[in-house]
């Protein structure tokens, strides 16, 4: 190697070292969250297990806890969140206009939404698929038996488009009865205006458990007619905020892989010698937080606030809840599911 090549290689290595050591610079959205002292999170107007407010106005659910984790990572407190309930029609405009910082509202990640609405999807918090619910009195056991049926569906959703595709592909001549608001759609179904109700399978389970007078009188049919990877999103234009939102989700998943829970996170932070655990919780010498514009305990705070992903799932929608969903595809990759986090390192 001649002198010129050595100089060139040395300069390249120095440039790489500089790049890898450069901390994140706060963007306008991250600055707004910090100056406001609260994260504004767009959520469903009411979907049990995902985002719903109780009689005291306290929000709970899987989508809600994700936002609490982000708030804890940035602001040090998972309660520093303002929840903004949004209909399906309102949600994208609210994010685009800056009304909310994060949209965490059982929203399907699609190419059109990702590429044309000025938003970045962060990842998948729930793998789902669209299904159908019918009264057992209809004596139907398969969606293929729904020819000519009236179907309640919410407008402005992938659900409406999928219903049309499925009906045409199977020559079922279904008759959509379209409503702007979810409450109107479910109300019409339970009052008998429609023979069928369709939405994501998780939503069907939630609505049946919460809104049906007699949940056992309603059957969720076995067919899933679509892929519905649900996840949060942020506006384009602030890469630093995007990175924090994305890596908070990854941290909650990786915490489950390491067996770190809301209950043992302090003990793990104090005692664990596992390099991965130490890196995640900020107890070692490595500081991943500076690359995100945060301190080294960002992930520790998120886990302390809401627990790992598995805990969030079990607490809000798991088999022991009224919704009663199995982990299934939402299990960790190591347990046969699809949940897989890039390494926090």
Note whether 28-127+230-326 and 130-226 share their fold. yes
> Per-residue pLDDT tens for 295-339?
999 999 999 999 999 999 999 999 999 999 999 999 999 999 999
Give me the residue spans of the domains in the chain.
28-127+230-326, 130-226
CATH class (in words) of the domain with range 130-226: alpha beta
d(CA 330, CA 60) in angstroms, rounded, equals 19
Token pair recorded at residue 22: 């450069």
DSSP state of 227: -
Q: How far is CA 319 from the centre of its chain?
A: 19
pLDDT higher than threshold 90 for residue 232: yes
Q: Measured at the alpha carbon of residue 306, what is the angle toward residues 301 and 309, in degrees to the nearest 5?
A: 110
pTM: 0.88
pLDDT digits (tens, 9 = 90+) for 39-54: 999 999 999 999 999 9
What is the assigned CATH class of domain 28-127+230-326?
alpha beta
Greatest extent of the chain over all pairs of C-alpha atoms, in Å: 85
- Closest residue by Cα to residue 207 from 174, 178, 185: 185
What gap in Å lies between CA 133 and CA 165, rounded to an integer?
18
Share in percent of the chain as helix, strand, coil (round to 5): 45, 15, 40
Q: How far apart are CA 273 and CA 292, in angstroms?
A: 24
Question: Rounded distance, CA 332 to CA 328, Å?
Answer: 9
Give the residue, 18 or 163, on which the prediction is more confident: 163
Gap between the Cα atoms of 231 and 225, Å rounded: 19
- The residues, any chain, with a CB within 8 Å of residue 131's CB and separated by 6 or more, are 143, 198, 199, 200, 201, 204, 220, 221, 223, 224, 225
């Amino acid at each position: 190697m001649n002198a010129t090549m050595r100089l060139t290689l040395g300069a390249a290595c120095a440039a790489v070292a500089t790049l890898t050591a450069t901390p994140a610079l706060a963007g306008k959205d991250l600055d707004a969250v910090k100056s406001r002292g609260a994260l504004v999170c767009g959520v469903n107007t009411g979907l049990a297990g995902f985002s719903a407010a109780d009689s005291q106005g306290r929000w709970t659910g899987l989508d809600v806890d994700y936002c609490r984790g982000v708030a804890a990572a940035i602001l040090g407190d998972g309660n520093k969140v303002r929840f903004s309930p949004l209909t399906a029609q309102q949600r994208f405009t609210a994010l685009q206009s800056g009304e909310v910082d994060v949209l965490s509202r059982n929203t399907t990640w699609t190419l059109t939404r990702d590429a044309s609405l000025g938003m970045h999807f962060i990842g998948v918090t729930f793998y789902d698929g669209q299904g159908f619910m019918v009264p057992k009195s209809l004596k139907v056991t398969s969606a293929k038996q729904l020819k000519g049926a009236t179907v309640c569906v919410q407008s402005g959703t992938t659900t409406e488009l999928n219903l049309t595709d499925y009906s045409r592909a199977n020559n079922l001549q279904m008759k959509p009865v379209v409503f702007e608001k979810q409450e109107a759609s479910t109300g019409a179904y339970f009052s008998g205006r429609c023979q069928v109700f369709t939405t994501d399978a998780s939503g069907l389970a939630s609505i049946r458990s919460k809104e049906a007078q007699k949940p056992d009188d309603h059957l969720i049919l076995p067919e899933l007619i679509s892929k519905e990877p649900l996840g949060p999103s942020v506006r384009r234009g602030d890469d630093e905020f995007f990175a924090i939102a994305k890596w908070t989700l990854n941290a909650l998943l990786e915490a489950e892989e390491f067996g770190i829970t809301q209950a043992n996170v302090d003990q793990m932070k104090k005692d664990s010698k596992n390099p991965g655990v130490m890196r995640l919780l900020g107890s070692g010498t490595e500081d991943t937080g500076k690359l995100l514009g945060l301190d080294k305990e960002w992930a520790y705070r998120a886990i302390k606030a809401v627990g790992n992903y598995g805990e969030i799932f079990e607490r809000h929608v798991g088999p022991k809840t009224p919704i009663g969903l199995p982990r299934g595809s939402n299990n960790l990759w190591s347990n046969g599911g699809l949940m897989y986090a890039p390494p926090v390192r």
